Amino acid sequence: MTYTGFITHPELTLLMAFVGLIFGLAYFAALKLSVTLLVGGNGWLGPLALTLGRLAAAAGFLFVAAKLGAGPLLGSFVGFLIARAMALRAERRAG
């Protein structure tokens, strides 16, 4: 009988969780910058470019993580969610 676990490469899953955390921090920093530019009245082209770049980068990142398998995809998503929680907590402290 052959037994295969859910996560065949746990080190890859942990690495992708870390990469997801770093990517998420950069994503939410770009989100904050684009909102600041939009509210500041500096035009709409800069915030639009940042938004399209963020969405394309997120889609590409999750596509690569999905190609690596279910474990790395879930790990990267968990890292991204941790970055979201960190960004929200930092925003509550600042504002």
Q: Cβ distance 50 to 37 under 8 Å?
A: yes
In a domain, 2, yes or no: no
Q: Tell me the percentage of the chain whose pLDDT exceeds 70.
A: 93
In a domain, 5, yes or no: no
In a domain, 88, yes or no: yes
Under the banding of pLDDT at 50, 70 and 90, the label for residue 3 is: low
What are 22-80's pLDDT values in tens digits?
Answer: 999 999 999 999 999 999 988 899 999 999 999 999 999 999 999 999 999 999 999 99
In a domain, 3, yes or no: no
pTM for the whole structure: 0.87
In a domain, 33, yes or no: yes
pLDDT at residue 88 is higher than 60: yes
Q: Cβ distance 61 to 76 under 8 Å?
A: yes
In a domain, 90, yes or no: yes
Give me the number of domains the chain comprises. Answer: 1
Domain limits for position 53: 11-94
Q: How many C-beta atoms surround the C-beta of residue 94 within 10 A?
A: 7
In a domain, 24, yes or no: yes
In a domain, 6, yes or no: no
Name the strand (E) or helix (H) holding 72: helix 70-94
